[in-house]
Structure formats: structure tokens, C-alpha cells
Structure 1
Amino acid sequence: MPESERGGRDLAGKVALVAGGTRGAGRGVAVGLGARGATVYVSGRSTAGRRSEYGRPETIEETAALVTAAGGLGVAVAADHLVPAQVEALVARIDAERGRLDVLVNDIWGGERLFEWESTVWEHDLDNGLRLLRLAVDTHAITSHVALPLLLRRPGGLVVEMTDGTAEYNAGRYRVSFFYDLAKSAVLRMAFALGHELGPRGATAVALTPGWLRSEMMLDAFGVTEANWRDALARVPHFAISESPAYVGRAVAALAADPEVARWNGRSLSSGQLAGVYGFTDLDGSRPDAWRYLVEVQDAGRPADTTGYR
């Protein structure tokens, strides 16, 4: 059984920042790193004392507590990643308390309620579209600008740019709307550019996408929980390929623990792809490969059948 699934502590002593770790993939990544012994700083705008514009109940304090319960040390720090001064204060705190940063995960998003499905650029609400781009792109750029000098202080650092879709999948497809498409493609390009800038300096940057993620918001949309998520298949059969946030969390933990992680520098990766390389599984013991499934089954108009894909 892989280290990520038997409680190994091969990331003990490592320090990670999961920017945007309140819920969904960010929470899964934070907990996955904690399960292998890392100290994980969890940042975001949703705190026990103040909700973000989402109005969701999840908080960074809850995520930090889950990290600690998993075997690491979780530290919650409120920060709006659109405000450079707040990101500077966050990174200064990590430096003062730990003196190092080994893993940076840029998972800031916040655009689910801002994009309009298949709405043209001239029909789409302009303020919402521009806000989406700021949340998806500016936040990542600001965080990398501020945090990378600390990460580069030691060789072997890892930057993970979280997005939706692999470079290969997104290249030939229109993704939801002009603004959404641009946001997710921009993050893929960030990882490529960071790979060129970090590689010669001893660090690695990758883009990583989960598959069809059973985030808290997705489960709520289907009216199910993680315990009974398969009940949603009667309504949307292709949801059978979905994965829990723990799956992409184990993917990031595997990358962070890999002494040869530089082989992935500048690449676009998926949780399902990495599961085949590193041997980890989702919570149910399966290995869903969503992006291959989307191409070969869902987009091809075939009936839902995950045989050979999980």
C-alpha cells in the first residue's frame, strides 16, 4: 500500500502553503499533505468569524483542524489573495515561524457563481467576468510573486497550480464560457511559465487538475453527501466517474514526496494520471481516470460505463 494511504510521514519537517484551502480540492490537498506529516498553512477568506462572498459554511479553521487530525500540523491564516499586503503578511509569518516553504499550492478560485454557462462574451455580465478573471489569475500571480523567494531559499521546492482540465483536453475545447475558458487556460500557462523560471533554480512547477470533483458545492448541487453520492447517478449517470477531494490531495502529496519530481516540471497533470504512476487510490480504493473517460465515453456520446476507467 502506498505511503499516502498507510499514514507515512515522509513529509515530516516540510512546510506547505495551500492558498485557497477552505473547501473542495484545496481542503483535500491540505489534508493529503498533512496525512504524510507536513505542516500546512491554510489560507483563504472564509473564517470562523467571517464568511466570504460565497456564504458557504466551510472555513480555513476547519481545514486546518482536519490537517492536524490527519497527522500533520494545520495553521489557518486569513488572507485575501487579491490584496498583496495580506499575502506578504502571510508569507512573512511562515518565514518567521518556520523559516522555509517547500510546497506552494495555488488553489484560489472563487468563481463558481460568477460565470454563465455558454454565454458569449458580449452577453456575459462584464463585472462578473472580470471579477472571475481577477480571482482565478491575479490571485495566483500575486501569491507566486510574494511566496516564491521563500520557496527558492532551499532546493527542491514544488509549486502546484490547480486548474480544471489538462492542457491537452482544454486545447481543443470550449470550456463553459469565454471568461471561464480564459481563466482555466491561463492557469495552465502559468505552470508552464513557472517551470521555465523555477527549473533552473532547483524547483518544480506543475499544473494539476482533479477530475469530476465531489466538492461540497457539487454534492449540494446534486442533493447528496459523500456517503451516498452514487444516488446522483440516476439523474446524471456520468457522475459515476467522479472523485473525492482526497484523491487530488493524495496526488499532490505523492508529488511532494517524490525525490524525482523535477521530471514533471512545466507539465500539465491530472489526479487520475498520477494515480497510475504513484499507485494511490481514492477513498473507495478505485483509481478514476476522469479525463480519459470524458474523451472516450462522455464526449463520444457513449452510455455511462466506468469499466476500465476506475
Structure 2
Amino acid sequence: MKPLRGKVALVAGGTRGAGRGIAVELGAAGATVYVTGRTTRTQRSEYNRPETIEETADLVNQAGGEGIAVPTDHLDPSQVQALVARIEQEQNRLDILVNNIWGAEYLAEWNVPVWEHSLERGLRMLRLAIDTHIITSHFALPLLIKNKNGLLVEMTDGTAEYNAKNYRLSLFYDLAKTSVIRMAWALAHELRPYQCTAVSLTPGWMRSEIMLDHYGVSEDNWRDAVGKEPHFVISETPRFVGRAVVALARDPYVSRWNGCSLSSGQLAQEYGFTDLDGSQPDCWRYLVEVQNAGKPADAGGYR
């Protein structure tokens, strides 16, 4: 079954992590997926990591969709405008826009007050996390609203409820991730007259390539990291949030979520999908009820 066959998606920021997981799952559902980012087989972004947009496009193809890699710096309006013009020329439609651009993994200085935090790094984080999303929406949404039932997914870290009550250990990071949630809420108002939907969506504790490297493990032996960080037991693959996006994209009543702040764990309960291992990790409830409550790590009842 390919429920999204004939649909066109743009995963902006699809080189690795959640973007790659989302692109692959959209491909598995039959979509044509444009994958953008700054790291290609011939050049790297400041991340200086090996993952490329071409690899993601290949994984989309292997999953059963059509993956198209387009090198794009989403801080450059001219590049984003050219990207959208290409999608319109080649497909004449855009059904799903996933704003997943981030690129600031190494810029945060945790538990450092703003007057001691590098101003250059902090402002760069805000540009990468916020400006890129606005620039992309500015150029891509006119194509999205050409057809009814378009879906905009603003990717972030944390739900509105969680972020309202918990400081995210850096003013700049806190502002970046909370701003995207508010952005989705605002865009929901602008898209509603065109019968399109905007949501913000967060994964849980995601086993991205960078996170696995941080703990010195791979996806095959990720549980070895629980010895270093016991609460890592609640973690999930990037494909889990990818399945959340697919569930939203194929839901004929997705407009009921317009403006909402959603999580992969919440939507798994709603739509019945699982992670690759068959579990349904509910990270944000776990963080509140177990980790932040100072209880011993135990994912029982949360997976």
C-alpha cells in the first residue's frame, strides 16, 4: 500500500536525523520527496559530517518513493526561491512541506547564562533555526495552497506544554525551539482560509547519527549507552517521527490538528503506528513523570 502515491513533499533539512527519517517514511508511503540540505557528496556544511542529501534521496528510492536531492542553503532566499520554482516546474504541486532546517547542533552552550554565552554563536543559532523556516515558508507556501489539504509540519524540540514549564538549558536554544512552535500556530491562521493545515511536531529523545556518535554506539547496540545515561532507555529512531508525519499526511481529517503542538509519542497513540522495534515510546510524558521527577530510569509503561 502506498497511501501517499502522487503526493509531493519537500523535506527542508533532510540530510540526517529527523529529516532523513521523515523523508524515508514519506518515500515508503509512495511520495515524491525533495530533500534539501547543505551537505552533498562534493561539499560539507559546518557540521563537517559524512551524511549527505544524496544518501537520503537514495534511501527514499529504496523505500519505494522517489527521492530528489537539491542542495539548498535555506538562509539564502534566492536558493530557496529557485528550489520552489523547480518543484513547481517539475511537479506543479506541493502537498507536504516539512520545515526541519536546524544546523545548530554544535552552537549551544548549555547552562551558560546569556551574558557569558557566545553572542555570535547564539545569534547564528537563531538565524539557522528561525530565519530559515520563515524564508522557506515565504517561497513554498504559495505552491502548497494551490491545492486543498496541504500540510505544513514545523519540526522542533519539545511540545508547547513542556517548553512552557521547562527551561531548555540555554536562552538561545529555548527561544529557537519555542519560536518554531509559535510559528506553526501563526501559520495555521494564515493557511486556514485555504483549507491547509500547519502543526508543530517534536520527536522524543531521538537516536540521530549525532546522538549515537555522542554515546559511542550504533543503532544496533544503542542500549549499551544506557549504562552512561539510564534515561536513554526511552529513546526512539528518527523513523518514528517520520511515521508521525505520514500519519498526518494521510489523515483526511488532519485539519483538526491545525495550530497544535504535537509529539511522535502522542500521535503514535492516536494513529496506532510504532517505532521500528514495534514499541511506542512516549518520551515527553516519561520526561515529566520519571526523569524530571527524579525517579530511577524505567521505560515500563512508556514504550
1:242 corresponds to 2:228: no
How far residue 81 of structure 1 moved from its aligned partner, in angstroms, is 0.1
Structure 1 CA distance for aligned equivalents of residues 284 and 80 of structure 2: 33
* 1:211-247 Cα deviation digits (max 9, x unpaired): 0000000000000000100000111110000000010
* 1:52-97 Cα deviation digits (max 9, x unpaired): 0000000000000000100000000000000000000000000000
1:66 corresponds to 2:59: yes
Residue type at the aligned position of 2:38: R
1:209 corresponds to 2:202: yes
How far residue 174 of structure 1 moved from its aligned partner, in angstroms, is 0.7
Percent identity of the aligned residues? 71
Residue type at the aligned position of 1:26: G
Structure 2 CA distance for aligned equivalents of residues 231 and 263 of structure 1: 40
1:82 corresponds to 2:83: no
Structure 2 residues without counterparts, runs of 5 or longer: none
Structure 2 CA distance for aligned equivalents of residues 200 and 292 of structure 1: 34
TM-score by length of 2: 1.00
Q: Secondary structure at the match of 1:208?
A: strand
Structure 1 CA distance for aligned equivalents of residues 169 and 88 of structure 2: 39
Q: Secondary structure at the match of 1:97?
A: helix
The 5 A counterparts of 1:291-302 are 291-302=284-295
Structure 2 CA distance for aligned equivalents of residues 174 and 286 of structure 1: 29
Q: Secondary structure at the match of 2:246?
A: helix
Partner of 1:4: none
* 1:95-138 Cα deviation digits (max 9, x unpaired): 00000000000000011110100111110000000000000000
Partner of 1:308: 301
Q: Which of 97, 104, 107 is matched with 1:114 structurally?
A: 107
1:282 corresponds to 2:275: yes
* 1:159-207 Cα deviation digits (max 9, x unpaired): 0000000000000111020100000000000000011111121100000
Partner of 2:160: 167
Q: Which of 87, 90, 103 is matched with 1:94 structurally?
A: 87
Structure 2 CA distance for aligned equivalents of residues 105 and 158 of structure 1: 8
Q: Secondary structure at the match of 2:192?
A: helix
Segments ≥4 residues shifted beyond 6 Å: none
Q: Secondary structure at the match of 2:9?
A: strand
Residue type at the aligned position of 2:161: E
Structure 1 CA distance for aligned equivalents of residues 63 and 201 of structure 2: 22
Q: Which of 130, 136, 153 is matched with 1:143 structurally?
A: 136
1:273 corresponds to 2:266: yes
Aligned length: 303
TM-score by length of 1: 0.97
* 1:246-279 Cα deviation digits (max 9, x unpaired): 1000000110011100000000000000000111
Partner of 1:200: 193
1:22 corresponds to 2:15: yes
Q: Secondary structure at the match of 2:36?
A: strand
Structure 1 CA distance for aligned equivalents of residues 122 and 52 of structure 2: 25
Structure 2 CA distance for aligned equivalents of residues 296 and 87 of structure 1: 42
Q: Secondary structure at the match of 1:306?
A: coil
Residue type at the aligned position of 1:222: Y
Q: Which of 47, 61, 66 is matched with 1:54 structurally?
A: 47
1:254 corresponds to 2:247: yes
Q: Secondary structure at the match of 1:132?
A: helix
Partner of 2:169: 176
Structure 1 CA distance for aligned equivalents of residues 169 and 59 of structure 2: 33
Structure 2 CA distance for aligned equivalents of residues 173 and 199 of structure 1: 30
1:231 corresponds to 2:224: yes
Structure 1 CA distance for aligned equivalents of residues 207 and 287 of structure 2: 16
Structure 1 residues without counterparts, runs of 5 or longer: 1-7
Residue type at the aligned position of 1:23: R
Structure 2 CA distance for aligned equivalents of residues 146 and 11 of structure 1: 23
RMSD: 0.4
Structure 2 CA distance for aligned equivalents of residues 74 and 221 of structure 1: 29
Partner of 2:211: 218
Residue type at the aligned position of 2:58: A
